[in-house]
Amino acid sequence: MNNQTHSTVRLVEPVVDRPRMTVIGTGYLGATHAVCMAALGFEVLGVDVDARKIEALAAGRVPFFEPGLEDLLRETLATGRLRFTQDFAQAAAFGDVHFVCVGTPQTKGSQAADLTYVHAAVDALARHLTRKSLVVGKSTVPIGTAAALTQRLQAAAPAGAAVELAWNPEFLREGYAVADTLTPDRLVFGVTSAWASAQLRAAFAPVLDKGTPLVECDLPTAELVKVAANSFLATKISYINAMAEVCEATGADVNLLARALSYDARIGGRFLKPGLGFGGGCLPKDIRAFAARADELGVGQAVAFLHEVDAINNRRRRRTVDLVRELAGGALQGVRVAALGAAFKPNSDDVRDAPALDVARMLHEEGAVVRVYDPQAMGNARRAYPELAYVDSLPAAVHLADVVVLLTEWDQFRHADPEMMGWLVAQRKVVDGRHALDADAYRAAGWDYRALGRPLMSSTVDLGTADADSLEFALRQVGAAPAPA
């Protein structure tokens, strides 16, 4: 559907032109959304049940690492347009549009999504909704959730059916969250009425005015878009990692393969990077929840391949441990391993389902003496895996190491000088779990270099980074980094 301004839509009821917004759940998604909406000129109230998060945000501190977000938080707090609270009655009285951004983690002991937080947030808000308003789900949920939530919401709200529900799935990437929120590549609105459509358009007017493509659809399609997108991305990563397994059996080089494939415009190079695979708070749990929901709907077979995508991804973690063991001479007991990285990807401190920490844990369980270092994720990593040993710098991690293993491709690790690293380690042996190091430079400095899916004597292959995937690009988009000369 083409972009339309809300004035062209035939309305049943008037919309609020500059709606006041609440953002319920101020984690990675919600805090970013609240700050960016305030930056776009709206009055915004962030709501969370976590008192420490609310206090930190209100004081201008982002309780997690996200490039560019803290500066923007401080700027928007200073305008007076952005405030934070734990009070749902205040939120209901304040907001014309309420964004629900709470977590939907994997249920313990099952593959399905846990909707406890979504239900709690909607219930807490609904009982105070005494006037017409729009509740907009942004969390990633199983198909059918929005329809059930609509009934729950309208049954609990004093305003009844005057309260409507829409779904607006979020596609931001941690590490690029500010740019992705201010300049998304598309918006998706799942709506059930002309009024909801017009109210959402008003809420996103500054983004739509930039020409952002909008797809307006029914609720199930909006829910499906998000899990379909994540399933596609996960499949692309696991596809090249499946090829890496074939490479390992044949002596072929997966990096050269990926590069050759990437020149085919129908395939493209983005998300075609072989290595340790995906993790984080979205992709793994989203593909599992999607498969579980598809089973319930009787179409499990249609997405049965997602189980294989997950299995390929998990095998890469075990295979990385195998490579470290091989390089260590066949056994890990007592081997000192420098584990570089803990976050599930660079430019984030998120360690949810992080491949890096999973590998560090497996190495530790096999008796290796593992020292973990990550530029931003140390606090989260310590809390998630207290049994591992952590050090505060790259030199401290590699000091007297028998094997160095790169697990998260932070720039600091990619650009470390192999010669200087070589002076610190006990043995010049490195496993490049992310295909991010300069193999030639390491070999020239006398290192034994190994990477998944690559022959023993492979040399450097530049897999390149799409401009849109670079942090500099994302920061330039929001005016936080200088344009290249």
Ligand X SMILES: NC(=O)c1ccc[n+]([C@@H]2O[C@H](COP(=O)([O-])OP(=O)(O)OC[C@H]3O[C@@H](n4cnc5c(N)ncnc54)[C@H](O)[C@@H]3O)[C@@H](O)[C@H]2O)c1
Measured from the CB of residue 279, what is the shortest distance to ligand X in angstroms? 12
Out of 9, 107, 117, 217, the residue judged to bind ligand X by CB under 6 A: 117
Sign of the Cα pseudo-torsion (212, 217, 223, 224, in order): negative
Nearer to ligand X (CB atom), residue 47 or residue 207: 47
Contact status, residue 15 vs residue 4, Cβ threshold 8 Å: no
Measured from the CB of residue 49, what is the shortest distance to ligand X in angstroms? 4
Sign of the Cα pseudo-torsion (153, 155, 158, 162, in order): positive
Contact status, residue 244 vs residue 312, Cβ threshold 8 Å: no
Measured from the CB of residue 416, what is the shortest distance to ligand X in angstroms? 28
Out of 15, 21, 23, 24, the residue judged to bind ligand X by CB under 6 A: 24
Measured from the CB of residue 181, what is the shortest distance to ligand X in angstroms? 10
Report the alpha-carbon distance of residue 188 to residue 179 in Å, rounded. Answer: 17
Q: Which stretch binds ligand X (CB under 6 A): 96-104, 418-426, 429-437, 444-452?
A: 96-104
Measured from the CB of residue 177, what is the shortest distance to ligand X in angstroms? 7
What count of other Cβ atoms lies within 10 Å of the Cβ of residue 17? 12
Structure tokens at 439: 């193999």
Question: Strand runs (DSSP E) across 246-368, as ranges?
Answer: 336-340
Contact status, residue 433 vs residue 276, Cβ threshold 8 Å: yes
3-state secondary structure of 427: coil
384: left (phi over 0), alpha (psi -120 to 50) or beta: alpha
Residue 282 among the catalytic residues:
yes
By CB under 6 A, tell whether 30 contacts ligand X: yes
By CB under 6 A, tell whether 102 contacts ligand X: yes
Out of 140, 150, 238, 347, the residue judged to bind ligand X by CB under 6 A: 140
Out of 22, 76, 104, 347, the residue judged to bind ligand X by CB under 6 A: 104
Strand partners, 97: 21, 134
By CB under 6 A, tell whether 149 contacts ligand X: no
Structure tokens at 142: 């199983």
Q: Which stretch binds ligand X (CB under 6 A): 6-14, 143-151, 166-174, 471-479?
A: 166-174
Report whether 402 belongs to an annotated binding site: no
DSSP code of 162? G
Phi, psi torsion values for 369, nearest 5 degrees: -95, 100
Task: Please tell me which residue in 36, 101, 247, 282 is annotated as part of the active site.
Answer: 282
101: left (phi over 0), alpha (psi -120 to 50) or beta: alpha
Out of 1, 78, 89, 120, the residue judged to bind ligand X by CB under 6 A: 120
Report the alpha-carbon angle 45-13-46, nearest 5: 5
Measured from the CB of residue 119, what is the shortest distance to ligand X in angstroms? 8
Q: Percent helix, strand and coil across the chain, each rounded to 5? A: 45, 10, 45
Out of 23, 28, 290, 378, the residue judged to bind ligand X by CB under 6 A: 28
Out of 269, 279, 281, 284, the residue judged to bind ligand X by CB under 6 A: 281
Report whether 172 belongs to an annotated binding site: yes
The H or E element spanning position 231 is: helix 219-250
Residues from 51 through 90 that contact ligand X (CB under 6 A): 53
Q: Which stretch binds ligand X (CB under 6 A): 26-34, 299-307, 403-411, 449-457?
A: 26-34
Nearer to ligand X (CB atom), residue 28 or residue 167: 28
By CB under 6 A, tell whether 112 contacts ligand X: no
By CB under 6 A, tell whether 170 contacts ligand X: yes
Report whether 440 belongs to an annotated binding site: no
Nearer to ligand X (CB atom), residue 219 or residue 461: 219
Report the alpha-carbon distance of residue 21 to residue 370 in Å, rounded. Answer: 47
Q: Lay out the sheet containing 187-190: strands in order across.
A: 82-85, 44-47, 21-24, 97-100, 133-137, 163-167, 187-190, 214-217
Nearer to ligand X (CB atom), residue 31 or residue 203: 31
Residues from 455 through 474 that contact ligand X (CB under 6 A): none
Task: Please give the positions annotated as active site.
Answer: 282
Residues in the annotated binding site: 48, 53, 104, 140, 171-174, 226, 271-275, 279, 285, 345, 352
User: Which residues of this chain interact with ligand X, rule CB under 6 A?
Assistant: 24-30, 47-50, 53, 101-104, 117, 120-121, 124, 139-140, 170, 172, 174, 281-282
